[in-house]
Structure 1
């Protein structure tokens, strides 16, 4: 399994975006000691991400693609939430997918996609 690492800078914004808005589950978090950076693992279905405050773990502005079933239902769920920083739309692509792209508060891009017939 490949687990991407996204750089984050603010715990509250991270929780608001990944947990409350996107619906990821907090699997675990680690901090060497008080006042040190956090390192998290979050998951949504089969997708697992690491989120790190540690300098050098990753660069802001990374991008990943996550395959998801029932993308339109997931989009409806996101649309019902009152997250004022993102209002993504589902787009049909010429390569046979429907896609929904969100950008986190740290400029990391996640494209959720579903293959269509």
Structure 2
């Protein structure tokens, strides 16, 4: 019998510009800024952002991550979230709502080459068996 329980994953995404990161993650995607940390004033920033149960670490530190990561973020109410993003008319991204492999998906790339794919399973309308 296992006596441990894995609770969650917190990916670290590489960023290169704090203002662009905040514009994208906070103002466009709707994440909240949980905290920021710098060892000293002129050191790279490390911060945590969250949206619902999704928590991400964003880092300017060279060795923390490589740009170009792809994340799949499970979401309930993807059509509402897509509408929320569309209403913003964000200059650098106008993601669509697509269906692929049994999921509805909203795909968007951040300014640093990372790709976020918000997904929700497509519910089967015929769940009964005869």
TM-score over 0.5 for the pair: yes
SS of the equivalent of 2:118 reads: strand
Separation (CA, whole Å) in 2 of partners of 1:79 and 1:28: 27
After superposition, give the CA deviation of every residue in 1:19-72 in whole Å (9 maximum; x if it has no partner). Answer: 000000001010000110000000001100000000010001111100000001
- Pick one of 94, 97, 105 that aligns with 2:103: 97
TM-score normalized by the length of structure 1: 0.97
Q: What is aligned with 1:30?
A: 37
Identify the match of residue 61 of structure 1 among 65, 68, 72: 68
Cα displacement string for residues 60-99 of structure 1 (whole angstroms, at most 9, x for unaligned residues): 1111100000001000000010311000001011x21100
Question: Which residue of the partner structure matches residue 113 of structure 2?
Answer: 107
Moved over 2 A (4+): none
Matched, 1:5 2:3: no
Larger Rg: 2
1:51 equivalent to 2:58? Answer yes
Give secondary structure in 2 for the equivalent of 1:9: coil
Aligned length: 116
Distance 2:45 2:19 in 1: 12
- Whole-angstrom distance in 2 between the partners of 1:6 and 1:23: 17
CA distance in 1, matches of 2:112, 2:93: 13
Equivalent-residue separation in structure 1 for 2:23 and 2:65 (angstroms): 21
TM-score, normalised on structure 2?
0.88
